[in-house]
């Protein structure tokens, strides 16, 4: 029987940074996900933003950032305490292996420790990014039916997921 690789998530450290900067998304995905260098620099300088590495057997294969307030992602507050997710991606060399689903599972488990007060995880996904939309819906996110029009690449679905 095939065993899935060990996926875990950890805050970005100075030791991980050079390897993370080598990660890329495919050319078509660049409409939806910013390059990692500016996202990482921005996360490192923004209070309340935590840059996170997705590790496969200890090596970086992806990246995301958690925002301590969902309002920084969607421009408004939510009634239950909420955190935001942005810049989630798996490196193009590792896509198609189920790592994104595993990373979302690890991410949600990690939030229980890192942000135990949070009750919702909120994100935006571009309306044209059907693969990401399917991924998030399979991971238990709910499409609110609300569109956010502040993105650089057109309207985005507002999704949320209840946290345990």
pLDDT in tens, 80-135: 899 999 999 999 999 888 899 999 999 999 999 999 999 999 999 999 999 999 99
Domain assignment present for 79 = yes
Domain at 99, CATH number: 3.40.630.30
* SS3 state of residue 146: strand
In a domain, 54, yes or no: yes
pTM comes to 0.92
> Could you tell me the two tokens for 69?
């307030």
What six digits make up the tokens of 145? Answer: 């039916």
Q: Give the residue-averaged pLDDT of 26-37.
A: 83
Strands 49-56 and 59-67: antiparallel
Confidence of residue 4 (pLDDT cuts 50, 70, 90): low
Check pLDDT > 70 for residue 1: no
Q: Which two tokens stand for residue 55?
A: 């590790």
31: in domain:
yes
The domain total for the chain is: 1
Q: Is residue 130 part of a domain?
A: no
DSSP-assigned beta bridge partners for residue 90: 62
Domain that holds residue 73: 7-116
In a domain, 33, yes or no: yes
Average pLDDT over residues 143-149: 90
Q: Is residue 34 part of a domain?
A: yes
Q: What is the mean pLDDT of residues 18-37?
A: 87
What pLDDT score does 149 carry? 84
The verdict on residue 153 lying in a domain is no
In a 3-state reduction of DSSP, which class is residue 47? coil
Between CA 142 and CA 117 the distance in angstroms is 20
Domain assignment present for residue 135? The answer is: no
Tokens of 128: 């044209």
Check whether 10 has a pLDDT greater than 60. Answer: yes
Least confident of 4-13, 39-48, 137-146, 148-157: 148-157
pLDDT tens-place string over residues 37-67: 999 999 999 999 999 999 999 999 999 999 9
Average pLDDT estimate for 138-153: 88
């Amino acid at each position: 029987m095939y065993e899935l690789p060990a996926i875990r998530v950890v805050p970005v450290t100075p030791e991980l940074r050079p390897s993370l900067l080598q990660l890329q998304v495919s050319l078509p995905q660049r409409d939806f996900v910013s390059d990692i260098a500016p996202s990482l620099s921005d996360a490192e300088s923004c209070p309340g933003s935590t840059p996170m590495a997705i590790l496969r057997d200890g090596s970086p294969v992806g990246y995301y950032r958690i925002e301590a307030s969902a309002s920084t992602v969607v421009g408004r507050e939510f009634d239950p305490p909420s955190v935001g997710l942005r810049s989630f991606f798996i490196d193009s060399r590792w896509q198609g292996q189920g790592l994104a689903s595993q990373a979302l599972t690890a991410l949600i488990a990690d939030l229980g420790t890192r942000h135990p007060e949070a009750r919702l995880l909120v994100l935006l996904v571009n309306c044209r990014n059907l693969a990401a939309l399917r991924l998030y819906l399979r991971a238990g996110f709910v499409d609110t039916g609300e569109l956010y029009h502040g993105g650089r690449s057109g309207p985005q679905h507002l999704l949320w997921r209840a946290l345990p």
